[in-house]
Amino acid sequence: MGSARDGTCREPWPLRAREPLADPTASARESCYETQVKLEFTNRAWGALPFDPNEENRTRQVFGACFTRVRPTPVKAPRTLAVAREVAELLDFTPDFTASAEFAEIFAGNRSLSGMDPVAACYGGHQFGSWAGQLGDGRAISLGELKNARGEHWELQLKGAGPTPYSRRADGRAVLRSSLREFLCSEAMHHLGIPTTRALSLVATGEDVLRDLLYDGNARHEPGAIVCRVAPTFLRFGNFELFAARDDHENLSKLAAHTLTTHFPELGAPSPVAFQELLAEVSRRTAELIAAWMAKGFVHGVMNTDNMSVLGLTIDYGPFGFLDDFDPSWTPNITDASGRRYRYENQPSIGLWNLVRLAHALFPLIGDVSAVEAALGAYGDTLTRARSRTLAEKLGLRALRQDETRADGSPCVPDATLVDDLFELLAAVETDFTLFFRHLADVVTDPAADEPSDEARFAPLWDAYYDASAVSADHRSRLLVWLRRYVARVRDDGRPDSERRQAMNAVNPKYVLRNYVAQLAIEAAERSDLSVLEELLDVLRHPFDEQPAHGRFAEKRPEWARHRPGCSMLSCSS
């Protein structure tokens, strides 16, 4: 959602496509699945946090509440398009259940299981650097918190399940293209080892949704869909910010105490010191998260504080993207094209900016400026360490060398220049970020009687260049010089190529969900062909494996995709 004109990602709202089908009995219908399996909905947050006494489902300001009870709006013809079996297993759902028509009904919001108690959350947030006031779940509806057989708690949330009191002027729905992207990317991120909310299912609604994709007055009807997202909690920085902005310290304190005791029990009982520790821990997790995004070339696209998880998870997939060519100033978000606030290279500093907003919100509970500053300090410390660790891993080095002497006292060059020079070279000529690091593992560095030439050594890397023939002689020789330094550095580490290659291939993925690849799955799904979606879901389970039969999904962005909407840049219209 959003506007290309004012850059706020808030206006104009898509119009309501059509009135929802009213079926007041649908959610109360008894489920046959319950007769077979007993699911335990604990809804711990529901019990601990304040509720809106008003259950009227109309757009309004809601004060003093974390949640409003709201029913999903039933849809016409639910059809399950995909299920992530790993997430189904987390929830103890059997394959029979996920394949049933009943499953599609439940995860489209037409029916509920007993124990589900659907709510929309109330939160605020800073959008594009400005306080936006109350936002809230305008189209997400949490069904409940399920306790699985292993004693883990998972909150189940439908995205696109119809209007809530937080929908403002929008329709509460989601289109297939954005839902498919969220479904696939949540799972892809998990398999890449990046903290994220998960996705159980993608269900088509059988109803159209009206969207103006490019905000140019050309609205069109698109197929609608609903993703069921799964996470320990969907609490965001914005939940805390809204109470703080309204000086509602009583509810701020309840929310922080619940967060602490439920999600961070190791930090102790609620107290100013424990809340300081909470801020420090959220700072550490956010730093680890952003370091992981940077290492894999992920750009979130809308790092507003309402899209920042208090657990340090990637949350709210919208106009996100993975870098194709390494361009540090790239953002996939058309709405952010002028300011590029959420560009790749800016994500680490935005992480801190957002944490400072959270710190302001928690200040009344901590009450001491130096304690807040100390907690925020955890962000920079963690990020520096995580960056150093992930870069060393990407390069196949045991660790980045900070010193100017080796253990034996002999002089050496710190690795910072090797790293900085590489990124400068990658940015200067269109070079695929994912493929460059993947192929760097294949460069020969083992000492041999018959040493290869610099050119021969570089050969595996040319595939990462979008137009190798356009690389100037000067750039080429700088690349070869860099590679010579790299080979010398690897030899200094004493790590044989076979071991280095294995280590590098375990962190540098072959497969990421490139925007053009997601678009292939979307276009096929819009033609009712689910084969690309299914194949991708499977391929992205093993992003570090070669999987030669699926090599087409590892290719550089093709020329046709360079300027096509959805392939290079995306709008917030979802």
Q: Count the Cβ atoms, other than its own, within 10 Å of residue 566.
A: 20
Compare residues 219 and 503 and give the one whose CB is closer to ligand AMP. 219
Judge contact between 570 and 334, C-beta under 8 A: yes
Query: What is the nearest approach in angstroms of ligand AMP to the Cβ of residue 259?
Result: 20
Within 300-329, which residues bind Mg ion (CB under 5 A)? 307, 316
Within 51-90, which residues bind ligand AMP (CB under 6 A)? none
Report if residue 318 touches ligand AMP, rule: CB under 6 A: yes
Judge contact between 473 and 429, C-beta under 8 A: no
Q: Judged by CB under 6 A, which of 135, 184, 358, 525 binds ligand AMP?
A: 135
With vertex at residue 83, the alpha carbon angle to CA 78 and CA 85, rounded to the nearest 5 degrees, is 150
Query: What is the nearest approach in angstroms of Mg ion to the Cβ of residue 307?
Result: 5
Report if residue 134 touches Mg ion, rule: CB under 5 A: no
Judge contact between 500 and 445, C-beta under 8 A: yes
Which of the choices Mg ion, ligand AMP, none does residue 429 contact, using the CB cut-off of 5 to 8 A by kind? none
Within 281-310, which residues bind ligand AMP (CB under 6 A)? 302, 306-307
Count how many residues are written for the chain. Answer: 574
Nearby residues of 24 by Cβ (< 8 Å), 6 or more positions away: none
Best CA proximity match to 85, nearest among 187, 231, 189: 187
- Four-CA torsion 458, 554, 566, 527, nearest 10 degrees: 150
Residue in the shown chain whose Cβ atom is closest to Mg ion: 316
Query: What is the nearest approach in angstroms of ligand AMP to the Cβ of residue 353?
Result: 17
Report if residue 336 touches ligand AMP, rule: CB under 6 A: no
Distance CA 128, CA 454 (A): 46
Q: Count the Cβ atoms, other than its own, within 10 Å of residue 117.
A: 16
Report if residue 182 touches ligand AMP, rule: CB under 6 A: no
Distance CA 418, CA 393 (A): 14
Compare residues 123 and 465 and give the one whose CB is closer to ligand AMP. 123
Region near ligand AMP per CB under 6 A, out of 167-175, 394-402, 515-523, 546-554: 167-175
Report if residue 136 touches ligand AMP, rule: CB under 6 A: yes
281: phi then psi, degrees, rounded to nearest 5: -70, -40
Which of the choices ligand AMP, Mg ion, none does residue 139 contact, using the CB cut-off of 5 to 8 A by kind? ligand AMP
Report if residue 159 touches ligand AMP, rule: CB under 6 A: no
Compare residues 169 and 552 and give the one whose CB is closer to ligand AMP. 169
Best CA proximity match to 141, nearest among 241, 69, 199: 69
Q: Judged by CB under 6 A, which of 72, 78, 165, 172 binds ligand AMP?
A: 172
Distance CA 298, CA 324 (A): 10
Q: Please give the single-letter amino acid code of residue 496.
A: P
Query: What is the nearest approach in angstroms of Mg ion to the Cβ of residue 236?
Result: 8
How many residues bind ligand AMP, per CB under 6 A?
20
Judge contact between 103 and 156, C-beta under 8 A: no
Residue 454 appears among annotated catalytic residues: no
Query: What is the nearest approach in angstroms of ligand AMP to the Cβ of residue 134?
Result: 9
- Does the bond joining 12 to the residue before it have cis omega, within 30 degrees of 0? yes
Q: Judged by CB under 6 A, which of 78, 138, 144, 321 binds ligand AMP?
A: 138
Which of the choices ligand AMP, Mg ion, none does residue 513 contact, using the CB cut-off of 5 to 8 A by kind? none
Report if residue 137 touches ligand AMP, rule: CB under 6 A: yes
Report if residue 112 touches ligand AMP, rule: CB under 6 A: no
Backbone region of residue 229 per phi and psi (left: phi > 0; alpha: psi in -120 to 50; beta: other values): beta
Distance CA 277, CA 414 (A): 34
Residue among 52, 137, 171, 306 flagged as catalytic: 306
Distance CA 72, CA 264 (A): 31
Judge contact between 78 and 526, C-beta under 8 A: no
Q: Judged by CB under 6 A, which of 52, 145, 155, 171 binds ligand AMP?
A: 171
Region near ligand AMP per CB under 6 A, out of 106-114, 170-178, 536-544, 561-569: 170-178
Compare residues 201 and 309 and give the one whose CB is closer to Mg ion. 309
Query: What is the nearest approach in angstroms of Mg ion to the Cβ of residue 225?
Result: 17
Report if residue 316 touches ligand AMP, rule: CB under 6 A: yes
Residue in the shown chain whose Cβ atom is closest to ligand AMP: 138
DSSP-based three-state secondary structure for 323: coil
Compare residues 371 and 569 and give the one whose CB is closer to ligand AMP. 569
Report if residue 182 touches Mg ion, rule: CB under 5 A: no
Compare residues 12 and 364 and give the one whose CB is closer to ligand AMP. 12
Distance CA 152, CA 495 (A): 41
Which of the choices ligand AMP, Mg ion, none does residue 170 contact, using the CB cut-off of 5 to 8 A by kind? ligand AMP
Distance CA 309, CA 98 (A): 28
Query: What is the nearest approach in angstroms of Mg ion to the Cβ of residue 509?
Result: 26
Q: What is the C-alpha R_g of the chain?
A: 25
Report if residue 332 touches ligand AMP, rule: CB under 6 A: no
For residue 506, what are its two tokens?
A: 């375990």
Q: Judged by CB under 6 A, which of 126, 139, 198, 439 binds ligand AMP?
A: 139
With vertex at residue 365, the alpha carbon angle to CA 261 and CA 154, rounded to the nearest 5 degrees, is 30
Region near ligand AMP per CB under 6 A, out of 18-26, 145-153, 164-172, 482-490: 164-172
Instruction: Kindly state the DSSP code that residue 30 receives in the 8-state scheme.
Output: P
Distance CA 330, CA 343 (A): 5
Compare residues 98 and 307 and give the one whose CB is closer to Mg ion. 307
Backbone region of residue 286 per phi and psi (left: phi > 0; alpha: psi in -120 to 50; beta: other values): alpha
* Largest interatomic CA distance in the chain: 80
Cβ burial of 85 (10 Å; 0-12, 13-18, 19+) is middle
How many residues bind Mg ion, per CB under 5 A?
2
Q: Which residues are catalytic?
A: 306
What is the binding site for Mg ion (CB under 5 A)? Answer: 307, 316
What is the binding site for ligand AMP (CB under 6 A)? Answer: 1, 9, 14, 135-139, 166-167, 170-173, 302, 306-307, 316, 318, 572
